[in-house]
């Protein structure tokens, strides 16, 4: 257990609970480190067959805690370490998503194998709105998963997808009533645990394919993310966010 992250070892399944409901489960550097550590631990333990991500309260994850993220480079470093860990994780990942899934709260789902969403789930990738670029390989994975036009609406305009649209677009596996969401995701993770492990792992590797291009894109995004974070556009966007006003961008 780390502040804001709960880790549960549940019969061969590691559950990672984002537990900061008063902040809509916005992620700090310490929370990223805790999740990365849990993935590293799960990867090393042969008795662990799957990982389940869930969020406490009425949101799955509101993305980065912007104040923490802007406090120093450790926030970005921790975030990109988590992204590398989840992108290269070799065991099945299940996610149970309710309410807001903003920024990395959505992009991490492209690396999950099964994503179950409550009817109130809302997926948003507002990177351009903040003067920065996407992360977690989402500039590659979102067009591949959703189609270019739908991905462009999300990444260029920052338009959200509700649960039904996300289901139709292929971002989620199924919509599940909120009161049984976590139990449903746990049952599916348990079903994965019951499968022949070598056949399951080989099939997953075949489906994921060669990760070279994905890892190259993650590093390219990380470089541009760091650059754009220092730009005048990002400074204005973040200032407007904290001051609760509309940003003004100059061409």
Region of 183 on the Ramachandran plot (φ > 0 left; ψ -120 to 50 alpha; else beta):
alpha
Q: Where are the domains of the chain?
A: 5-178
Cα dihedral 202/208/212/218 (nearest 10):
-140
| 7, pLDDT greater than 80 | yes
Distance CA 37, CA 80 (A): 13
Residues 87-131: tens digit of each pLDDT: 999 999 999 999 999 999 999 999 999 999 999 999 999 999 999
Lowest mean pLDDT among 15-24, 111-120, 143-152, 236-245: 236-245
pLDDT at 68: 79
Average of pLDDT values for 234-243?
91
pLDDT at 76: 83
What topology does CATH give the domain 5-178?
2-enoyl-CoA Hydratase; Chain A, domain 1 (3.90.226)
Q: What are phi and psi of 18, to 5 degrees?
A: -80, 115
Residues 167-208: tens digit of each pLDDT: 999 999 999 999 999 999 999 999 999 999 999 999 999 999
Average of pLDDT values for 127-153?
96
User: How high is the mean pLDDT of the chain?
Assistant: 95
Residues 11-35: tens digit of each pLDDT: 999 999 999 999 999 999 999 999 9
| 69, pLDDT greater than 80 | no
What is the SS3 assignment for 158?
Answer: coil
pLDDT at 73: 65
Q: How confident is the model at residue 72 (pLDDT cuts 50, 70, 90)?
A: low
| 74, pLDDT greater than 80 | no
Q: Of the candidates 107, 113, 111, which has an alpha carbon nearest to the alpha carbon of residue 222? A: 107
| 234, pLDDT greater than 70 | yes
Contact between 134 and 223 under an 8 Å Cβ cutoff? The reply is no
């Amino acid at each position: 257990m780390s502040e804001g992250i709960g880790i549960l070892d549940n019969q061969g399944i590691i559950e990672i609970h984002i537990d900061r409901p008063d902040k809509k489960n916005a992620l700090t550097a310490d929370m990223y480190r805790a999740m990365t550590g849990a993935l590293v631990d799960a990867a090393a333990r042969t008795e662990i067959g799957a990982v389940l991500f869930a969020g406490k309260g009425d949101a799955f994850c509101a993305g980065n805690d912007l104040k923490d993220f802007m406090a120093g480079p450790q926030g970005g470093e921790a975030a990109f370490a988590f992204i590398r860990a989840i992108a290269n994780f070799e065991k099945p990942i299940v996610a149970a998503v309710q309410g807001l899934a903003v920024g990395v709260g959505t992009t991490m789902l492209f690396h999950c194998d099964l994503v179950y969403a409550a009817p109130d789930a809302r997926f948003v990738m507002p990177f351009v709105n903040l003067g920065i670029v996407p992360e977690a390989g989402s500039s590659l994975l979102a067009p591949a998963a959703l189609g270019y036009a739908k991905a462009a609406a999300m990444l260029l305009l920052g338009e959200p997808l509700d649960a039904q649209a996300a289901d139709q677009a292929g971002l989620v596996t199924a919509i599940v009533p909120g009161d049984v969401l976590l139990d449903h995701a746990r049952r599916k993770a348990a079903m994965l645990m019951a499968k022949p492990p070598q056949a399951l792992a080989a099939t997953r590797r075949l489906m994921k394919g060669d990760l070279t291009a994905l890892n190259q894109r993650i590093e390219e995004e990380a470089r541009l993310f760091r650059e754009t974070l220092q730009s005048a556009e990002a400074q204005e966007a973040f200032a407007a966010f904290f001051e609760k006003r509309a940003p003004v961008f100059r061409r």
